[in-house]
Amino acid sequence: MSPAAPRRGRRPGAPDTRAAILAAASERFAAQGYAGTSVRSIATAAGVDAALVHHYFGTKDDLFVAALQLPVDPRERLAAVIANGPEGAGEQMLRVFLSVWDDPELQLPLIGLARSILEPSGQRLLRDGFLPAVLLPVGVALGIDRPDVRMPLVASQVIGLIVTRYLLAVEPLASMPAEDLVVVYGPTIQRYLTGPLP
């Protein structure tokens, strides 16, 4: 992978440069955490200019999501929920979440990702990267009060559901229809989003 400066014009995709940036980003985020990694340091590691990183990947949040290699971008999937505002967002977020995790094409990569992110080496990426860069902005965009408290509460139930239904396959959760899970967990997520806080 040669980190050549792509000055020669727009080669479609410029796969070497993109791949070099992405590899550098994955390495830096894993080693230094999200907050401790600058776009500049990733650019340096990839042998390119910081402006080029932004050109290819957008913001640092976008680059982080790209480096996670999520099979879907949660921010994209949740756009419609966000547009509808906080009322009913609990059930709607849950339906989006389940439609992604129950998709046979996505489930295995997601389970693999969840396993790696729950390992000690991945835990900082989840805490210092995924939560502030992906989950918190969803709460901010929803317009709820105290998203810094509420979104971690949401995460605590969603992570517990991922562990029990998908990783451990605890019955009856593992084979419960999505709509039953919405009945059970929807009010929980909604209360965390808009209910009383201490």
**Least distance in Å: CB of 196 to a second copy?**
8
Q: How far from each other are the two terminal CA atoms of the chain, in whole angstroms?
A: 52
Tell which one of 29, 57, 64, 192 touches a second copy (CB under 8 A): 192
Please give the sequence-ordered ranges of beta strands (E in DSSP) within the chain, or none if there are none. Answer: none
Query: Which 158-187 positions form the footprint of a second copy (CB under 8 A)?
Result: 158-161, 163-165, 167-173, 179-180, 183-184, 187
The smaller minimum CB distance to a second copy, of residues 140 and 168, is found at: 168
Return the number of the residue (80 or 149) whose C-beta is nearest a second copy: 149
Q: Does 148 help bind a second copy (rule: CB under 8 A)?
A: yes
In order, the DSSP letters of 100-130 are HHT-HHHHHHHHHHHHHHHSHHHHHHIIIII
Cis peptide before 172 (omega within 30 of 0): yes
Site string for a second copy, 118-147 (x = CB under 8 A): xxx--x--xx---x----------------
Residue whose tokens read 């290819």: 56
Binding part of the chain for a second copy, among 20-28, 52-60, 88-96, 152-160 by CB under 8 A, reads: 152-160
Answer yes or no: are the C-beta atoms of 185 and 162 closer than 8 Å. Answer: no
**Cα separation values, 91 from 86, 95, 97, 118, 192, Å:** 10, 6, 10, 25, 12
How far is 42 from 97, CA to CA, in rounded Å? 31
Residues that bind a second copy (CB under 8 A): 115, 118-120, 123, 126-127, 131, 148-149, 152-153, 155-161, 163-165, 167-173, 179-180, 183-184, 187-188, 191-192, 196-198
